[in-house]
Structure formats: structure tokens, C-alpha cells
Amino acid sequence: MSEASQAGPVFAERPTAPVIADAWAFAGPAGLAGASLILLGWPWVGAGLVAFAGFCIAFFRNPVRRFSGGERDVVAPADGRVLAVDEIEDEAHGKGLRIGIFLSVFDVHVNRAPVRGRVRSIERGGSRFLAAFDPRGERENVRLAMTLEMEDGRRVVVTQITGLIARRIVCHPRVGEWLERGQRYGLIRFGSRTDVWLPPGSTACVQRGDRVRGGATRLAQLPETVA
């Protein structure tokens, strides 16, 4: 796809640092306090804080991933366990295949574009912070849905959904920008869920309970022809 055919700005991938900067706001104070307590003779409390600092650094890790699938392949937008593979009715786009992924606090929380496309809309909704595996969370939790339009006109929706612990959704792209498949574009802090809505005729390549890796696992295939 050429820049001319894209007819819009190209998104600059971010975050790209090996460890996201947010980590240091949590890990720095905890690690410093932990080290101080160990020196002052409180080894168990200090060790706990140092361990928490290490957890924060691990949580905000941001590995480089590569995917070499075909044009119809959809890549997983997040690391985690597949919670749902079913047909749903999207308010804006109608019926389609939905694949939901649950991210535990031990998974990488950086989100990646499932397909190559232009951002058509970014919509926020919801007001609650239910557990990510609670069915009500799909409709009621704070969420951000980004619609990507591929060059052939097909649309794919990727939705970041908060969970019981998650309180912040980060989504860097703007409407009109083009994203490459697998490109890193945002994250959700501390436990969450990411859903993908695909057009009718799409075929899932995973099933409920499978583990997936964002930017590396083939999640589904789009139909050969545009409906």
C-alpha cells in the first residue's frame, strides 16, 4: 500500500521503548523505599517493595514482535487467554465475528493493530470497572473502540476494555491515521480485556482457552471477497 493510496497521515508507532515509561513512576519509589528499609533493618518489608518494583517493570515490558502472515490474516491485538469466539451484533457495523482476549496482570499489556487500516473512528463508553471476565463488563466497563478501515473498504473494530484493577486506557492514534498490522498503538494498565470485531465470513484460527501473543499469533482470517 503506497502513501498516496492511503490518502492520510501514517501513524508513528508508540510505545516502542523496551520498558514503558509508566513503569518508573511505580517501580522507582517502591524500589528506593525497599532498598532503604533493607538497610534500616526491615528486610522482609523492604524485599516486598523491591519485588513490587520488579513486578511493575515486568508488567510494562514491551517486546518487539514480528508477523509474516497473508493479507487476509488478522493478528492478535494483545497477549492473553481467549475468552470468547462468537458472533455478535455490533451497533455500528452489524453482525460479525467477535474474539475476546483476557489479559492477566502477568501478560504484556501493549495493544497492537490487528489489521492494516485507517482509523475511521475512536469511541469511548462505559462507566464501570467490573472484572474483565464478567460478561457484564463487555457492555458496562470503561472502554475505547477503534474502527480501522482497510484499503478494500472492510472495517475491523478493536476495543480496549478496562477490568477490576485497570483504570486507564491509552490509545495514541488519531482519526485519519494509517496503522500497519501488528503496530503498537496503546495499552491498558493492570489487568484488562481486548476484543476484536471482524466482518461476516471471517474464520477464527483460535478457540476459547487458547493463549495468544499480541503481534505474533494469527487470530483469524478475513473472507476472500468483500461482502
202 catalytic residue (yes or no): no
| Cβ–Cβ < 8 Å for 65, 82 | no
Return the closest-CA partner of residue 144 out of 115, 181, 186: 186
Q: Select which of 121, 127, 192, 202 is catalytic.
A: 192
Q: Pull the grid cell for residue 87.
A: 458472533
DSSP state of 56: H
Q: How far apart are CA 167 and CA 148, in angstroms?
A: 24
User: Residue 95's CB: how many other CB atoms inside 10 A?
Assistant: 12
| Cβ–Cβ < 8 Å for 78, 100 | no
Residue type, 62: N
The per-residue b/e assignment along 1-31, b for 16 or more CB within 10 angstroms, e otherwise, is eeeeebeeeebebbbeeebbebbeebbeebb
Instruction: Name the residues annotated as catalytic.
Output: 192
